[in-house]
Chains A and B, each alone.
Chain A
Amino acid sequence: MEKFIEVCPYCGAGCKFNLLVENNKAVGVEPLNGVTNQGELCLKGYYGWDFLNDTKILTPRLRQPMLRHSRQEPFQAVSWDEAIVFTAGKLGELKQKYGPDSIMMTGSSRGAGNEANFVAQKFARAVIGTNNVDNCARICHCPSMVGMMATLGSGAMTNSVGEIEDTDCILCFGYNGADSHPIVARRIVKAKAKGAKIITCDPRHIETARISDLWLGLKNGSNMALVNAFANVLITEKLYNRDFVANYTEGFDAYWNIVKKYTPEYVEDITGLKASQIREAMHIYAGAKNATILWGMGVTQWGQGVDVVKGLAGLALLTGNVGHLNAGIGPVRGQNNVQGACDMGALPDFFPGYQSVKKPEVREKFAKAWNVPSLPDKVGLTLTDVPHAAIEGRLKAMYIFGEDPAQSEPDLDLVRKGFEALELIVVQDIFMTKTGMFADVILPATSWGEHDGVFTDTDRGFQRFYKALDAKGDVKHDWEIHSLIATALGYPMKYNNTEEIWNELISLCPSYKGATYERMAGLGYVQWPCPDVSHPGTKFLYTGNKFSTPSGKGLLLAAEWRAPAESVNDEFPLVLSTVREVGQYSARSVSGNCAALTALADEPGYVTINPADAQKLGVRDQALVWVASRRGKVIARASITGRTNKGAVYMTFQWWIGACNELTIHRVDPDSKTPEYKYAAVRIEPIADQVWAESYVKETYSKLKHNLAAAANSAPAAKPAPSKALEPA
């Protein structure tokens, strides 16, 4: 048996473990003493690796390049040469006819790795000539990046995961650590054991709320009002750090001008909270020696996400809770490499290392390094721009790599319409997915476990992961595929290994320069910024309270509260908010192929309902129900729980049959373009014939699996039969 050091391919906690391999088959996992996980793992780390053995539980591995000349036809297996020539040919044609900006590329936030993302954005910029490249941070923590860049200068967690257990107060706002990052939740639990005060702001009584000193069960959609009220209390009750504000921040007067209206009493109606609770929260937060704010999708997946992030940063700036150990603000990044995809510049407005496409000197530097006369200066499209851009004819092609937008984007009907409008869809992935079913070309890639690379976890830590298995079938590494297509398009690109790519990256990014492969080897952990090889990496940002804004000061920025886009009414009386569950992950093409994880949780997924609402509707626990919105209708299994607040229902976005994104609304934050997944108006329809309903789920699921498998295993094009010459008798 052999052991290979890995970084977990699921969430952003960056857990390290050994993958155990026998005869080129994954057989187990044992935890390692990584910096963030300290020898612990969750069920996904322990039992979420058997997908590597092509279990075919949900969908089979893609093992051969495939293409089709029309989406009404089945796929045909082809050679790599054919696939490359076809793809390059089509991309070249479209670029010629409609211009480089008619093509959209993606990065990948999961197993592909930093090097593959670097190559993907280089492909978009140097080969196609567009900044149309984005990754699924767009539908996740982009508001955090935008809001924190505006207020502090950098968009990442200011402190490290380990510091969470040593802080004196955790303000947990719209963040469900137990379901999103068990290993981060572990730190919250340890902090509590060490005497830290915990405040949770969440409409549901989530795990962290159970152990909190104060739970603010605010109404869905009232974030900005509550955050403004917090600021109001800090200022009116003189709880804020006047010295810190005077010396290290700007904008106090304009900030106060907006938040002065938001007294706790003023926001009682909007938030559904008592003024005394709001005051108490700030007494605890401001009274702590060191306090940390953690947030997740409960803050970002709103039409008003950026403003709330700025507001939370404001609370930390007002109280001086940033710039030193054990105090800071933490947008906890979801997926194992979503931080990395952003670090690598798979973003429409940034090159790798957060260097802006708008700066001429930056474009010149990269153009020189990449041997092109110039690079595009127009900020590109985001993932959420794609459906409308396609429907309006501005976008003609999309090259999707390691993402499943037909599952993860809001308003899936709109997404499908967008796909239908595109002339070319290239899907590069490891499993056949619903997105793959829209493709013209399928390019099969190696999976995590089958290649080397680097991930960046949620607290800016670069860690290496190693190839443990030889990939089966006719697959290639992601960065190799991009390189071959680039070469076929006339831009010679060739790398021999991931280290070569990494060295090119760090030579171009001052804040990554000291993070060499050597330093990251084994259990190495280098947190950027790391400007040179002798620099130890950066545990927490803004030492000495020096921020990376143009003025060097933190900016206090406030905004008025805006209501969510949709309204509930008699027809759709409940709020749907999409959330996570701990045992399946994201778009589920990986975790859905794991036996243990699927044994624990499978289609159609749950919709959680408050007992009072369930009783009114006549819905029993575990019954199948229809959930309908203005955009669609899906079946889900009712889970009646007092942890869910009245007037709201929650579904997780993992499920393909119970796909909640058929119901969500495509309304985005104006600055970050992140969708409002947390508020869609729905109704629950009980189903009288439960026998029929269970049958329906089984049949629909079977059919979906069958179609995906048939597509993945498409045969080569039939060769014409050789004509038989007449043989002499």
Chain B
Amino acid sequence: MNRFIAADSATCIGCRTCEIACVVAHEPSHDVETLTPTHFEPRLHLVRTFQVSTVATCHQCEDAPCLHACPTGAIFHSGDTVQVDQARCIGCKSCVIACPFGAMQVVTHAAQQVFAGVTIANGVKAEAHKCDLCADRAAGPACVEVCPTKALHIVDAALIEETRRRRQQHSALEPSGLSAVA
């Protein structure tokens, strides 16, 4: 089963430290000074309603709609994650529309080409941008590491099992208020 990042709304305080950690972790130089308002694309997003503070991010779906939507086969399963081969991405945005969580985003960067020793502008390079579970980061997901209330969790098969078991116990012990099945 794929693992993914989820926030516990009971402990999230909406501080967005996770968003910055995500951007810094994916910046090749990891240099915080390279961030600007237009060069800031976190792969998880704080969402606040009246009752809830949590993050919206990629669920690393087992049967990923984005993967099916992609015409160039840029999105693929890799271990227990879903990844994007950016070289293949053409920025068609089919995956953005396909994702029910709003987790996918297409970002573009100015592209360059070297021709006869001269670097010239060469349009844009598009990237399908989503949580990659910090696959290239030795310490794992940066967001989970920095969250001051430890509201972010890597939800893997083991954690799901544990959660389900706990809730099954609870539902057995708590009076359910339902009348007995006839």
- Spell out A's residues near B (CB within 8 Å): 28, 40-43, 46-47, 50, 53, 55, 177-178, 182-183, 185-186, 189, 192-193, 205, 207, 210-211, 582-583, 594-596, 598-600, 602, 641-643
Contacts and interface: CB of A to CB of B under 8 A. Distances in A.
Contact of B34 (A28, A183, A205, A595): A595
B40 A55 contact: no
Given A43-B20, A210-B51, A582-B16, 12 more contacts: A40-B149, A41-B146, A55-B33, A182-B149, A582-B13, A582-B14, A596-B23, A596-B35, A599-B36, A600-B16, A641-B48, A641-B50
A641 B13 CA distance: 16
Contacts of B15: 42-43, 178, 182, 582-583
Contacts of B49: 642
Contacts of B50: 205, 641-643
Given A55-B33, A596-B32, A598-B37, A207 B148 contact: no
Pick the most buried of B10, B24, B40, B149: most chain A CB atoms within 10 A of its CB: B149
A210 B24 CA distance: 30
Contacts of B11: 189, 193
Interface of B: 9-11, 13-17, 19-21, 23-24, 32-37, 39-40, 48-53, 146, 148-149
A600 B32 contact: no
20 contacts: A41-B17, A42-B15, A43-B16, A46-B17, A55-B33, A182-B15, A185-B13, A207-B53, A210-B52, A210-B53, A583-B16, A595-B35, A595-B36, A596-B23, A596-B24, A598-B35, A598-B37, A599-B35, A602-B37, A643-B48
Given A182-B148, A582-B15, A599 B33 contact: no
Contacts of B146: 41, 43, 46
Nearest to B42: A600
B13 A595 contact: no
Given A42-B15, A643-B50, A595 B33 contact: yes
A53 B33 CA distance: 9
Contacts of A211: 10
Contacts of A643: 48, 50
Contacts of A582: 13-16
A602 B40 CA distance: 13
A305 B39 CA distance: 43
Contacts of B14: 178, 207, 582
Contacts of A193: 10-11
A596 B148 contact: no
Contacts of B52: 210
A186 B149 CA distance: 5
Given A205-B50, A641-B48, A643-B48, A42 B17 contact: yes
A207 B33 contact: no
B13 A207 contact: yes
Nearest to B146: A46
Contacts of A177: 13
B148 A40 contact: yes
Contacts of B20: 43, 46-47, 596, 599-600
Contacts of A205: 50-51
A41 B17 CA distance: 9
B149 A189 contact: yes
B129 to A, nearest CB: 16
A288 B19 CA distance: 38
B27 to A, nearest CB: 10
Given A210-B53, A642-B50, A41 B148 contact: yes
A583 B19 CA distance: 11
Pairs of residues from A and B, 4 with the lowest C-beta to C-beta distance, nearest first: A178-B13, A599-B40, A43-B17, A642-B50
Pick the most buried of A41, A178, A595, A642: most chain B CB atoms within 10 A of its CB: A595
B149 A185 contact: yes
Nearest to A178: B13
Contacts of B149: 40, 182, 185-186, 189
A285 to B, nearest CB: 22
A596 to B, nearest CB: 5
Pick the most buried of B14, B17, B21: most chain A CB atoms within 10 A of its CB: B17
B145 to A, nearest CB: 10
A193 B10 CA distance: 9
B16 A192 contact: no
A42 B34 contact: no
A600 B40 contact: yes
A45 B19 CA distance: 14
A409 to B, nearest CB: 28
Pick the most buried of B15, B40, B51, B53: most chain A CB atoms within 10 A of its CB: B15
Pick the most buried of B13, B16, B149: most chain A CB atoms within 10 A of its CB: B13
A40 B148 CA distance: 5
